[in-house]
Amino acid sequence: MIFGSIKHLEEYLFLEERIKECFEYVKSNELVSYEIGRYEIDGERFFVNIVEYTTTNPEERFWEAHRKYLDVHVMLEGTEQIDMNFIQNMDVKEFIEKDDFLPMDGDKNSSVILRDGDFLICYPSDGHRTAVAAAGPEKIKKAIFKVHI
């Protein structure tokens, strides 16, 4: 997991080129004006999902991780809490290959709060539970880049 702000990208020069491509895409596109949906950038190697939803209680959300793709969450509007734990600390369920979805149950180890311009990179060992309300339910808009690994 790497948590940061697109306002300070100069601090993240060590990141892989494929992740830097996400930030270049953010800088050169007005993502907040995009409709909800999937936008292919480089086929299955690299694409972005634009999502909108209302954050809620953690009990109403699910844990997940991915094996084929890194997630790069970039907050466009609103505030969201994302709970985190390493998958080795979780009760891992059966991997769903077609969706690159590893469901799991367990408790959070930590949380991050994403605000406008913040990003969170989730690697395969990073279990995450999204759409958790930080200070109460709030509608958010976010870009989730999927980077094939």
- Span 72-125, pLDDT tens digits: 999 999 999 999 999 999 999 999 999 999 999 999 999 999 999 999 999 999
Phi/psi at 80 (5° precision): -140, 140
**Which pLDDT does position 12 carry in this prediction?**
85
Let me know: does 49 contact 124? Beta carbons within 8 Å. no
pLDDT confidence of residue 82: 98
Give the CATH number of the domain where residue 24 resides: 2.60.120.370
Q: Pull the structure tokens for residue 78.
A: 């609103």
pLDDT of residue 145: 97
Work out how many domains the chain is built from and give that number.
1
Q: What's the CA gap between 104 and 128, in Å, rounded?
A: 9
pLDDT in tens, 3-47: 999 989 888 889 889 999 999 999 999 999 999 999 999 989 999
Sheet architecture: strand order including 69-77: 2-5, 118-122, 69-77, 139-148, 46-54, 37-42
Domain that holds residue 139: 2-148
